[in-house]
Structure 1
Protein backbone atom coordinates (compact mmCIF):
# COMPACT_ATOMS: atom_id res chain seq x y z
CA UNK A 1 0.00 0.00 0.00
CA UNK A 2 1.38 3.39 -0.99
CA UNK A 3 1.38 6.23 1.52
CA UNK A 4 0.10 9.69 0.65
CA UNK A 5 3.69 10.90 0.38
CA UNK A 6 4.53 8.09 -2.03
CA UNK A 7 1.53 8.98 -4.20
CA UNK A 8 2.12 12.72 -4.00
CA UNK A 9 5.87 12.68 -4.66
CA UNK A 10 5.43 10.22 -7.51
CA UNK A 11 4.47 12.92 -10.01
CA UNK A 12 7.65 14.85 -9.27
CA UNK A 13 9.84 11.75 -9.37
CA UNK A 14 8.30 10.72 -12.68
CA UNK A 15 9.06 14.19 -14.11
CA UNK A 16 12.75 13.71 -13.27
CA UNK A 17 12.70 10.18 -14.68
CA UNK A 18 11.16 11.51 -17.90
CA UNK A 19 13.98 14.07 -18.14
CA UNK A 20 16.51 11.30 -17.46
CA UNK A 21 15.06 9.27 -20.30
CA UNK A 22 15.26 12.24 -22.66
CA UNK A 23 18.91 12.79 -21.70
CA UNK A 24 19.62 9.09 -22.30
CA UNK A 25 17.95 9.24 -25.72
CA UNK A 26 20.25 12.19 -26.51
CA UNK A 27 23.23 10.10 -25.30
CA UNK A 28 23.91 12.60 -22.50
CA UNK A 29 24.55 10.01 -19.80
CA UNK A 30 26.01 12.48 -17.33
CA UNK A 31 22.84 14.59 -17.47
CA UNK A 32 20.76 11.44 -17.24
CA UNK A 33 22.45 10.56 -13.95
CA UNK A 34 21.88 14.11 -12.66
CA UNK A 35 18.14 13.66 -13.20
CA UNK A 36 18.29 10.26 -11.50
CA UNK A 37 19.98 11.97 -8.54
CA UNK A 38 17.17 14.55 -8.42
CA UNK A 39 14.61 11.75 -8.52
CA UNK A 40 16.48 10.09 -5.66
CA UNK A 41 16.40 13.19 -3.47
CA UNK A 42 12.69 13.60 -4.15
CA UNK A 43 11.75 9.98 -3.56
CA UNK A 44 14.05 8.97 -0.72
CA UNK A 45 11.23 9.35 1.82
CA UNK A 46 9.32 6.55 0.08
CA UNK A 47 10.59 2.97 0.10
CA UNK A 48 8.96 2.42 -3.29
CA UNK A 49 10.49 5.42 -5.09
CA UNK A 50 13.80 5.22 -3.22
CA UNK A 51 14.29 1.61 -4.28
CA UNK A 52 13.04 2.19 -7.83
CA UNK A 53 15.48 5.04 -8.41
CA UNK A 54 18.39 2.98 -7.08
CA UNK A 55 17.44 0.19 -9.48
CA UNK A 56 17.46 2.72 -12.34
CA UNK A 57 20.87 3.96 -11.17
CA UNK A 58 22.08 0.35 -11.17
CA UNK A 59 20.82 -0.06 -14.75
CA UNK A 60 22.58 3.21 -15.69
CA UNK A 61 25.82 1.84 -14.23
CA UNK A 62 25.41 -1.39 -16.17
CA UNK A 63 24.72 0.46 -19.43
CA UNK A 64 27.71 2.78 -18.96
CA UNK A 65 30.00 -0.04 -17.74
CA UNK A 66 30.68 1.79 -14.47
CA UNK A 67 31.67 -1.08 -12.18
CA UNK A 68 32.13 1.07 -9.07
CA UNK A 69 28.68 2.62 -9.51
CA UNK A 70 27.13 -0.80 -10.18
CA UNK A 71 28.48 -2.29 -6.94
CA UNK A 72 27.58 0.85 -4.99
CA UNK A 73 24.03 0.87 -6.31
CA UNK A 74 23.57 -2.80 -5.55
CA UNK A 75 24.47 -2.11 -1.91
CA UNK A 76 22.29 1.00 -1.85
CA UNK A 77 19.28 -0.97 -3.10
CA UNK A 78 19.60 -3.22 -0.05
CA UNK A 79 19.78 -0.11 2.14
CA UNK A 80 16.80 1.54 0.45
CA UNK A 81 14.66 -1.55 0.97
CA UNK A 82 15.67 -2.05 4.60
CA UNK A 83 16.26 1.46 5.95
CA UNK A 84 13.80 3.84 4.27
CA UNK A 85 10.76 2.70 6.22
CA UNK A 86 12.73 3.30 9.43
CA UNK A 87 13.57 6.86 8.38
CA UNK A 88 17.28 6.03 8.25
CA UNK A 89 18.14 7.98 5.11
CA UNK A 90 20.45 10.99 4.93
CA UNK A 91 18.28 13.81 3.62
CA UNK A 92 19.49 15.39 0.39
CA UNK A 93 22.01 12.68 -0.40
CA UNK A 94 22.13 12.18 -4.16
CA UNK A 95 23.42 8.60 -3.67
CA UNK A 96 25.93 8.33 -6.44
CA UNK A 97 28.99 6.39 -5.31
CA UNK A 98 30.95 9.65 -5.31
CA UNK A 99 29.05 10.52 -2.09
CA UNK A 100 29.09 8.59 1.19
CA UNK A 101 25.72 6.84 1.62
CA UNK A 102 25.60 8.26 5.17
CA UNK A 103 26.20 11.94 4.34
CA UNK A 104 23.39 14.47 4.64
CA UNK A 105 23.45 17.17 1.95
CA UNK A 106 21.52 20.39 1.44
CA UNK A 107 18.39 20.05 -0.69
CA UNK A 108 17.94 22.58 -3.48
CA UNK A 109 15.09 25.02 -3.00
CA UNK A 110 13.32 23.60 -6.07
CA UNK A 111 13.38 20.02 -4.78
CA UNK A 112 12.64 21.03 -1.17
CA UNK A 113 9.52 22.84 -2.34
CA UNK A 114 8.27 19.73 -4.15
CA UNK A 115 8.97 17.53 -1.12
CA UNK A 116 7.10 19.97 1.12
CA UNK A 117 4.09 19.97 -1.22
CA UNK A 118 4.07 16.16 -1.32
CA UNK A 119 4.06 15.96 2.49
CA UNK A 120 0.93 18.14 2.77
Structure 2
Protein backbone atom coordinates (compact mmCIF):
# COMPACT_ATOMS: atom_id res chain seq x y z
CA UNK A 1 0.00 0.00 0.00
CA UNK A 2 1.52 3.30 -1.09
CA UNK A 3 2.18 5.94 1.56
CA UNK A 4 -0.52 8.42 0.51
CA UNK A 5 -3.15 5.69 0.31
CA UNK A 6 -2.09 4.20 3.65
CA UNK A 7 -2.23 7.62 5.32
CA UNK A 8 -5.73 8.25 3.95
CA UNK A 9 -6.85 4.80 5.08
CA UNK A 10 -5.44 5.35 8.58
CA UNK A 11 -7.07 8.80 8.75
CA UNK A 12 -10.48 7.31 7.95
CA UNK A 13 -9.90 4.57 10.53
CA UNK A 14 -8.86 7.14 13.15
CA UNK A 15 -12.00 9.18 12.51
CA UNK A 16 -14.12 6.04 12.73
CA UNK A 17 -12.51 4.98 16.01
CA UNK A 18 -12.94 8.43 17.55
CA UNK A 19 -16.63 8.42 16.61
CA UNK A 20 -16.92 4.83 17.86
CA UNK A 21 -15.59 5.91 21.27
CA UNK A 22 -18.26 8.65 21.26
CA UNK A 23 -20.87 5.97 20.46
CA UNK A 24 -21.73 7.78 17.23
CA UNK A 25 -22.29 4.52 15.38
CA UNK A 26 -23.68 5.98 12.14
CA UNK A 27 -20.82 8.40 11.54
CA UNK A 28 -18.25 5.81 12.63
CA UNK A 29 -19.70 3.39 10.10
CA UNK A 30 -19.56 6.05 7.37
CA UNK A 31 -15.81 6.45 7.89
CA UNK A 32 -15.36 2.68 8.02
CA UNK A 33 -17.04 2.45 4.62
CA UNK A 34 -14.59 5.02 3.27
CA UNK A 35 -11.69 3.13 4.83
CA UNK A 36 -13.02 -0.07 3.27
CA UNK A 37 -12.99 1.47 -0.21
CA UNK A 38 -9.38 2.57 0.28
CA UNK A 39 -8.12 -0.65 1.82
CA UNK A 40 -10.09 -3.39 0.12
CA UNK A 41 -7.24 -4.45 -2.18
CA UNK A 42 -4.97 -5.18 0.78
CA UNK A 43 -5.63 -8.09 3.14
CA UNK A 44 -4.88 -6.50 6.52
CA UNK A 45 -6.52 -3.09 5.96
CA UNK A 46 -9.51 -4.79 4.31
CA UNK A 47 -9.96 -7.14 7.24
CA UNK A 48 -9.49 -4.33 9.78
CA UNK A 49 -12.29 -2.30 8.22
CA UNK A 50 -14.63 -5.30 8.42
CA UNK A 51 -13.62 -6.03 12.03
CA UNK A 52 -14.59 -2.50 13.05
CA UNK A 53 -17.84 -2.73 11.06
CA UNK A 54 -18.58 -5.88 13.04
CA UNK A 55 -17.97 -3.98 16.28
CA UNK A 56 -20.33 -1.18 15.22
CA UNK A 57 -22.94 -3.75 14.18
CA UNK A 58 -22.62 -5.40 17.59
CA UNK A 59 -23.24 -2.11 19.41
CA UNK A 60 -26.19 -1.35 17.16
CA UNK A 61 -27.53 -4.84 17.96
CA UNK A 62 -27.82 -5.34 14.21
CA UNK A 63 -27.88 -9.10 13.65
CA UNK A 64 -27.69 -8.74 9.84
CA UNK A 65 -24.59 -6.55 10.08
CA UNK A 66 -22.85 -8.83 12.56
CA UNK A 67 -23.53 -11.94 10.48
CA UNK A 68 -22.57 -10.17 7.27
CA UNK A 69 -19.31 -8.92 8.73
CA UNK A 70 -18.29 -12.35 10.01
CA UNK A 71 -18.67 -13.68 6.47
CA UNK A 72 -16.88 -10.67 4.99
CA UNK A 73 -13.97 -10.97 7.45
CA UNK A 74 -13.41 -14.56 6.36
CA UNK A 75 -13.72 -13.61 2.69
CA UNK A 76 -11.37 -10.64 3.06
CA UNK A 77 -8.63 -12.93 4.33
CA UNK A 78 -8.88 -15.10 1.21
CA UNK A 79 -10.09 -12.91 -1.65
CA UNK A 80 -8.53 -9.43 -1.13
CA UNK A 81 -5.51 -10.13 -3.34
CA UNK A 82 -7.50 -11.96 -6.01
CA UNK A 83 -10.52 -9.75 -6.71
CA UNK A 84 -12.52 -6.99 -5.06
CA UNK A 85 -15.59 -5.10 -6.32
CA UNK A 86 -14.27 -1.58 -6.79
CA UNK A 87 -16.01 1.01 -4.63
CA UNK A 88 -17.98 -1.50 -2.58
CA UNK A 89 -18.59 0.06 0.83
CA UNK A 90 -18.38 -3.24 2.72
CA UNK A 91 -21.54 -3.07 4.81
CA UNK A 92 -23.97 -5.96 5.06
CA UNK A 93 -26.62 -3.73 3.47
CA UNK A 94 -24.95 -4.16 0.04
CA UNK A 95 -24.01 -7.22 -1.98
CA UNK A 96 -20.40 -8.17 -1.25
CA UNK A 97 -19.74 -8.60 -4.99
CA UNK A 98 -21.37 -5.37 -6.23
CA UNK A 99 -19.04 -2.70 -7.66
CA UNK A 100 -20.15 0.79 -6.62
CA UNK A 101 -19.26 4.35 -7.60
CA UNK A 102 -16.18 5.64 -5.81
CA UNK A 103 -16.40 9.12 -4.22
CA UNK A 104 -14.22 11.54 -6.23
CA UNK A 105 -11.85 12.31 -3.34
CA UNK A 106 -11.19 8.61 -2.77
CA UNK A 107 -10.85 7.91 -6.50
CA UNK A 108 -8.02 10.44 -6.68
CA UNK A 109 -6.19 8.54 -3.93
CA UNK A 110 -6.76 5.18 -5.62
CA UNK A 111 -5.50 6.58 -8.94
CA UNK A 112 -2.32 8.03 -7.44
Counterpart in 2 of 1:71? 67
Counterpart in 2 of 1:36? 32
Which shows bigger deviation, 54-63 or 97-106? 54-63
For 1:1-120, what aligned pairs fall within 5 Å after superposition? 5=1, 8-86=4-82, 88-117=83-112
Structure 2 residues without counterparts, runs of 5 or longer: none
Residues 20 and 56 of structure 2 are in contact (CA less than 8 Å); yes or no, is this contact kept in structure 1?
A: no
Q: TM-score, normalised by structure 1?
A: 0.86
Q: Aligned pairs, how many?
A: 112
Q: TM-score, normalised by structure 2?
A: 0.91
Structure 1 residues without counterparts, runs of 5 or longer: none
Tell me which stretches of 4 or more aligned residues in structure 1 moved more than 4 Å.
none
Q: Distance in 1 between matches of 2:36 and 2:64?
A: 18
Residues 95 and 101 of structure 1 are in contact (CA less than 8 Å); yes or no, is this contact kept in structure 2?
A: yes
